[in-house]
C-alpha cells in the first residue's frame, strides 16, 4: 500500500467515528478544540502530527513487548475484533490485562477502526499511516508473537496422509465388495477385514475417519445407493481422482472438518476452510519445532484470518495429526509440521518418474506412486481388489474383479493395455492367456438394458431404412423385434411416430431404473490462496528480532514537570499524570487542562450506592465493562471481568445478571457479595 492509499484509509477510518469520540481524540492530541468544529480540518491537523518525525520517535520509543505481540497479530489478521485479539493471548496473560492493553493501543491510535466495521463486527486494524514505520522498527514480529521456539525435535513420525490412495481403496471396496447402505454400511467400514487393508494407519484413527470418508463420497455423488447396496458412479469418481493431490487433500480435510463441526461457519463454506488449512501450513512451517502455546496461536490466527472460530480444538489437532500434517506427539513441545502435504504449488511432485509396479504370477499388483497413465486413465480400483494400502500398495486381479470391471463398461482390451502400461515388464503369459479366456467367456453372453419394440413388416422396413434411428437402435433380436435405448426413448419414439404416422404405446416407467444416473451432481471444486505472498510475508516477519526500545525517561519526566506547572485542581492533575503514564501524552502541546475524566471509576466497601451507580451506568452502556471483586463463601476474593446485563431488585436486595468474559457465560451475582466495582472502557471507538 502506497503512502496516498494509507493516508486515504486513515482518513476514512477517522471519518467513521462518532462526534463525541472524534472530539475526545482530537482534544487529547491537539489540545483545546472549540465547538462547533470542522472535521476535515481537524483530520488534516492530526495527520500532520502523525507524520512528524519527532512525535513518531517518541511514539515508537514507548512501545512495549506486549504491544509488539498485539500489533503483530493485528498486522497478520489485517482486520480483527477486540475479542479475537484477547482470545489469542488467553494463555499468556490475564484477560483484563490484554483487553486494557488493546484499549490503550486504541487511545494511542496504533490500532484504529477498520472502515468496513459495523455494529455486528467492530473491526480493528493497524494504523495504515504507521504500518511501514512500525515494520521498520521491528514492531511486527512472529518470534515475539509465537514466543520462544521449542527445542528441535529428534526423530518424529508422521501418519500417512489422506490422499488418492485411501480414496482409491474405498472405491475398490465399493466395486468389489457388497457394501450395505445406511448404518449397516458404517459398521461394515469398522470391521476387521476392512481395517486390515489400512493396517499402516493408526487403527483408532482409521476406525474413526473411514466412515466419515465414506459419507464424504456419498455427499459428493461419488457413491450412490442402489437398492440395498452402495455402488460408485464412475464418471464422478473419475473427476474426483483427477483432482491434484494438493487439491484432493485439501478437499478431504475441508469435508472432514465440516462434518466434525470443528468451526463455527457457513454450512458449505469450503473456501474459508481451504484458506485456513493453507494459511496454517504456511505459518507453521516458519518454525522448525512448534510448542503447544505457539501451535494454539498459529491455529487461532489462521482461523480468525478467514472469519472462522475453532469450536473443537483437540479434535482439530487429532485431524491434523491423523492426516499427516502434524507429527504424531512424542513429548510436549516437540510438534513438527510436514511442509509437503498442503503446500504443493504444482503437481511436479506427482511425476511418474518415481512410479514402480510389479505384477506377480499370482496376479498381485504391487506399486508405489500413482498408477495413472499419461492419458489420465486411472482404473486400478475398477479392475483389481485392494488388499493393502501403504507407501507400497497391493491390489489383486481375479476372475471376480474382472467381472466387476466388465459390469462397469471396461473391455478386455482396456484392462490388458492398462496393466501392460503400468508394468515395465510384459505381463505374465499365464495372466495374458487367462485374460483372453475371460474375455471370450464374457463375449459368449451379452446382456442389454433397453426397450424391446415389436413391429409389423411395414414398420420394420421403415426402421431399417431410417438412418436417424440408428444411434438409438442397440440390436436386432429377430426380424421385426428390436432393442432400443431406454435413456433416449423420448427421441426415437418421436422420430418413429412421425415417420410411420402411427400411435405408439407407452413403455414401462424408467423412473426406478434411471434414478441412479439422474440425481443432482455436486460440483467438486476447491480453491485456495496463493501461498507465495503468504510465505514471503510470514518469513519476513519471522526474521524480525525485537530490538531493545528503552523508554526515553527524559521526555516523560519533562512532561510530568510541565503538568505540575499548570494551575489546575488535584483531580485534573491526576488525570494528566495518568495520561502521561499511559503514553497518551507525548508532546508538551498536549498538556492542557482536561475537560473530562477518562480513567477508570471504582467504588468499594460500604459505598453501596456508589457500586450500584457504576453497575447501572455499565448496564446502560455498550462501551463499558466491569471488573468485579467478589467475596466467595470461604471469604476469598475472586476477580471477574463481566458485561453487565441487568440489575434486578429494589431497596438493598439486588442481584446482577452478567456475561463473564471472555466465554460470555451468563451468571447471576448477589450485589451484597460484590466488594469492589471498577468500570472500564471496552473500547474508545465502539
| DSSP result, 536-574 | HHHHHHHTPPPPP----HHHHHHHHHHHHTS---HHHHH
Q: What is the 3-state secondary structure (H, E, C) of 168-236?
A: HHHHHHHHHCCEECHHHHHHHCCCHHHHHHCCCCCHHHHHHHHHHHHHHHHHCCCEEEECCEEEECHHH
The pLDDT, as a whole number, for residue 350 is: 47
> Residue 366: is its pLDDT beyond 60?
yes
The pLDDT, as a whole number, for residue 516 is: 39
> Residue 511: is its pLDDT beyond 60?
no
The pLDDT, as a whole number, for residue 574 is: 83
The pLDDT, as a whole number, for residue 514 is: 38
Task: State the DSSP string of 598-627.
Answer: -S-EEEETT-HHHHHHHHHHHHH-SSEEEE
Who has greater pLDDT, 545 or 480?
480
The pLDDT, as a whole number, for residue 37 is: 78
The pLDDT, as a whole number, for residue 260 is: 92
Per-residue pLDDT tens for 139-197?
888 888 887 765 555 667 788 888 889 999 999 998 888 788 777 877 888 888 888 89
Per-residue burial over 349-371, b = 16 or more CB atoms within 10 Å of its CB, e = otherwise: ebeeeeeebebeeebebbbebbb
Q: Among residues 429, 382, 417, which one has the least CA distance to residue 402?
A: 382
How far CA 578 is from CA of 147, 151, 452, 569, 581, in Å, comes to 30, 42, 95, 14, 5
Angle between helices 531-542 and 270-284 (to 10 degrees): 40
The pLDDT, as a whole number, for residue 168 is: 92
Check if the beta carbon of residue 23 is closer than 8 Å to that of residue 40.
no
pTM of the model: 0.78
Dihedral sign, CA of 11, 17, 19, 24?
Answer: negative
The pLDDT, as a whole number, for residue 506 is: 56
The pLDDT, as a whole number, for residue 519 is: 44
Question: At 315, is the pLDDT very low, low, confident or very high (cuts 50, 70, 90)?
Answer: very high
Per-residue pLDDT tens for 602-643?
888 888 889 889 999 989 888 889 999 998 878 788 888 899
> Residue 591: is its pLDDT beyond 70?
yes
| 83 class by beta-carbon count within 10 Å (0-12 exposed, 13-18 middle, 19+ buried) | middle
Q: What is the 3-state secondary structure (H, E, C) of 434-448?
A: HHHHHHHHHHHCCCC
Per-residue pLDDT, averaged over 279-305, amounts to 87
Question: At 520, is the pLDDT very low, low, confident or very high (cuts 50, 70, 90)?
Answer: very low
Q: Among residues 123, 117, 131, which one has the least CA distance to residue 79?
A: 123
> Residue 373: is its pLDDT beyond 80?
no
What kind of architecture, by CATH, is found in domain 601-681? Answer: Roll (2.30)
Question: At 549, is the pLDDT very low, low, confident or very high (cuts 50, 70, 90)?
Answer: low
What sections of 481-523 are H helices per DSSP? Answer: 489-500, 511-514
Compute the distance between CA of residue 421 and CA of residue 418 in angstroms, rounded to an integer: 5
> Residue 351: is its pLDDT beyond 70?
no
Question: At 271, is the pLDDT very low, low, confident or very high (cuts 50, 70, 90)?
Answer: confident
The pLDDT, as a whole number, for residue 513 is: 37
Per-residue pLDDT, averaged over 109-118, amounts to 87
Lowest mean per-residue pLDDT among 251-265, 332-346, 478-492: 332-346
Strand 653-660 relative to strand 665-670, pairing: antiparallel
Which bin fits 363, alpha (ψ -120 to 50), beta or left (φ > 0)?
left
Q: 39-53, 148-162, 366-380 — which one is most confidently predicted on average? A: 39-53
Question: At 397, is the pLDDT very low, low, confident or very high (cuts 50, 70, 90)?
Answer: confident
Q: Among residues 14, 4, 212, which one has the least CA distance to residue 117?
A: 14
Q: Omega before 662 cis (within 30°)?
A: yes
Residue with cell 434411428: 469
Q: 70-74, 417-421, 505-509, 549-553 — which one is most confidently predicted on average? A: 70-74
What sections of 333-467 are H helices per DSSP? Answer: 380-383, 399-407, 412-422, 429-444, 457-465
> Residue 405: is its pLDDT beyond 50?
yes
Per-residue pLDDT, averaged over 485-492, amounts to 82
DSSP 469: G
Domain spans in the chain, listed from the N-terminal domain onward:
3-141, 164-322, 354-443, 450-514, 553-590, 601-681
Check if the beta carbon of residue 402 is closer than 8 Å to that of residue 438.
yes
Q: Among residues 587, 629, 585, which one has the least CA distance to residue 611?
A: 629
Question: At 302, is the pLDDT very low, low, confident or very high (cuts 50, 70, 90)?
Answer: very high
> Residue 407: is its pLDDT beyond 80?
no
Question: At 267, is the pLDDT very low, low, confident or very high (cuts 50, 70, 90)?
Answer: low
> Residue 682: is its pLDDT beyond 60?
yes
Compute the distance between CA of residue 37 and CA of residue 534 in angstroms, rounded to an integer: 43
The pLDDT, as a whole number, for residue 349 is: 43
Average pLDDT, the chain: 83
User: N- to C-terminal Cα distance for the chain?
Assistant: 26
Q: Identical fold at 3-141 and 601-681?
A: no
Query: How long is the chain?
Result: 686
**Grid cell locating 100:** 486494557
**Cβ within 8 Å of residue 82, ≥6 positions away:** 99, 102, 122, 124, 682, 683
Check if the beta carbon of residue 169 is closer than 8 Å to that of residue 389.
yes
Backbone phi, then psi, for 389, in 5-degree steps?
-115, 125
What kind of architecture, by CATH, is found in domain 3-141? Answer: Orthogonal Bundle (1.10)
Check if the beta carbon of residue 384 is closer than 8 Å to that of residue 172.
yes
Lowest mean per-residue pLDDT among 104-108, 129-133, 341-345: 341-345
> Residue 266: is its pLDDT beyond 80?
no
Who has greater pLDDT, 596 or 34?
34
The pLDDT, as a whole number, for residue 119 is: 63
Check if the beta carbon of residue 79 is closer than 8 Å to that of residue 123.
yes
Strand partners, 626: 642, 679
Share of the chain above pLDDT 70, in %: 89
Angle between helices 489-500 and 457-465 (to 10 degrees): 120
Per-residue pLDDT, averaged over 314-337, amounts to 81
The pLDDT, as a whole number, for residue 103 is: 92
The pLDDT, as a whole number, for residue 49 is: 92
Amino acid at each position: 500500500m502506497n503512502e496516498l492509499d494509507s493516508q486515504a484509509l486513515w482518513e476514512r477510518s477517522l471519518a467513521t467515528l462518532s462526534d463525541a469520540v472524534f472530539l475526545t481524540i482530537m482534544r487529547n492530541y491537539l489540545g483545546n478544540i472549540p465547538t462547533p468544529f470542522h472535521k476535515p480540518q481537524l483530520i488534516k491537523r492530526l495527520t500532520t502530527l502523525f507524520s512528524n518525525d519527532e512525535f513518531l520517535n517518541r511514539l515508537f520509543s514507548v512501545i512495549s513487548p506486549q504491544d509488539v505481540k498485539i500489533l503483530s497479530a493485528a498486522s497478520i489478521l489485517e482486520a480483527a475484533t477486540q475479542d479475537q485479539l484477547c482470545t489469542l493471548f488467553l494463555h499468556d496473560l490475564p484477560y483484563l490485562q490484554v483487553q486494557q492493553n488493546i484499549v490503550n493501543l486504541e487511545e494511542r491510535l496504533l490500532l484504529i477502526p477498520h472502515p468496513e466495521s459495523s455494529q455486528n463486527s467492530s473491526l480493528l486494524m493497524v494504523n495504515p499511516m504507521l504500518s511501514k514505520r512500525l515494520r521498520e522498527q521491528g514492531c511486527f514480529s512472529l518470534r515475539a508473537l509465537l514466543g520462544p521456539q521449542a527445542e528441535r525435535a529428534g526423530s518424529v513420525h508422521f501418519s500417512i496422509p489422506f490422499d488418492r490412495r485411501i480414496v482409491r481403496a474405498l472405491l475398490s471396496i465399493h466395486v468389489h465388495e457388497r457394501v450395505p447402505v445406511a448404518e449397516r454400511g458404517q459398521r461394515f467400514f469398522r470391521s476387521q477385514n476392512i481395517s486390515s487393508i489400512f493396517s499402516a494407519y493408526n487403527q483408532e484413527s482409521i476406525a474413526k475417519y473411514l466412515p466419515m470418508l465414506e459419507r464424504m463420497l456419498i455427499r459428493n455423488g461419488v457413491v450412490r445407493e442402489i437398492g440395498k447396496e452402495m455402488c460408485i458412479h464412475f464418471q464422478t469418481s473419475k473427476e474426483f481422482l483427477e483432482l491434484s493431490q494438493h487439491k484432493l487433500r485439501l478437499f478431504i480435510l475441508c469435508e472432514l472438518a465440516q462434518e466434525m463441526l470443528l468451526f463455527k461457519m457457513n454450512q458449505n463454506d469450503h473456501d474459508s476452510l481451504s484458506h485456513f488449512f493453507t494459511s496454517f501450513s504456511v505459518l507453521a512451517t516458519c518454525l522448525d519445532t512448534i510448542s503447544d502455546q505457539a501451535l494454539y496461536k498459529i491455529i487461532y490466527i489462521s482461523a480468525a484470518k478467514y472469519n472462522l472460530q475453532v469450536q473443537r480444538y483437540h479434535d482439530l489437532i487429532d485431524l491434523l495429526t491423523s492426516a499427516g500434517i502434524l507429527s504424531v506427539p512424542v513429548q510436549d513441545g516437540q510438534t513438527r509440521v510436514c511442509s509437503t502435504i498442503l503446500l504443493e504449488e504444482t503437481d511436479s511432485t506427482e511425476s511418474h518418474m518415481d512410479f514402480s509396479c510389479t505384477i506377480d504370477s499370482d496376479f498381485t499388483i504391487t506399486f508405489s506412486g500413482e498408477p495413472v497413465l499419461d492419458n489420465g486413465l486411472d482404473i486400478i480400483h475398477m479392475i483389481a481388489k485392494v488388499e493393502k494400502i501403504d507407501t507400497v500398495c497391493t491390489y489383486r486381479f481375479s476372475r471376480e474383479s474382472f467381472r466387476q470391471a466388465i459390469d462397469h463398461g471396461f473391455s478386455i482390451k482396456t484392462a490388458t493395455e492398462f496393466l501392460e502400461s503400468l508394468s515395465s515388464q510384459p505381463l505374465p503369459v499365464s495372466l495374458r492367456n487367462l485374460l483372453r479366456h475371460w474375455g471370450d467367456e464374457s463375449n459368449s453372453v451379452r446382456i442389454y438394458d433397453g426397450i424391446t419394440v415389436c413391429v409389423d413388416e411395414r414398420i420394420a422396413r421403415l426402421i431399417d431404412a431410417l438412418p436417424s434411428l440408428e444411434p438409438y437402435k442397440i440390436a436386432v433380436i429377430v426380424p421385426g423385434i428390436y432393442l432400443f435405448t431406454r435413456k433416449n426413448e423420448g427421441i426415437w419414439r418421436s422420430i418413429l411416430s412421425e415417420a410411420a404416422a402411427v400411435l405408439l404405446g407407452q413403455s414401462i416407467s424408467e423412473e426406478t431404473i434411471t434414478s441412479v444416473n439422474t440425481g443432482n451432481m455436486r460440483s467438486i471444486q476447491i480453491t485456495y490462496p496463493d501461498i507465495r505472498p503468504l510465505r514471503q510475508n510470514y518469513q519476513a516477519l519471522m526474521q524480525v528480532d525485537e530490538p531493545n526500545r528503552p523508554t526515553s525517561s527524559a521526555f516523560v519526566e519533562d512532561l510530568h514537570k510541565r503538568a505540575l506547572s499548570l494551575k489546575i485542581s488535584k483531580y485534573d492533575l491526576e488525570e494528566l499524570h495518568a495520561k502521561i503514564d499511559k503514553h497518551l501524552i507525548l508532546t508538551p502541546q498536549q498538556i492542557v487542562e482536561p475537560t473530562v475524566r477518562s480513567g477508570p471509576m471504582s467504588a468499594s466497601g460500604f459505598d453501596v450506592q456508589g457500586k450500584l451507580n457504576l453497575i447501572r451506568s455499565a448496564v446502560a452502556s455498550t462501551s463499558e465493562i466491569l471488573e468485579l471483586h467478589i467475596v466467595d463463601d470461604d471469604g476469598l476474593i475472586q476477580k471477574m471481568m463481566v458485561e453487565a446485563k441487568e440489575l434486578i431488585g429494589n431497596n438493598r436486595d439486588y442481584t446482577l445478571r452478567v456475561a463473564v468474559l471472555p466465554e460470555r457465560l451468563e451468571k447471576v451475582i448477589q450485589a451484597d457479595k460484590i466488594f469492589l466495582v471498577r468500570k472500564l472502557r471496552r473500547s474508545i471507538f465502539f
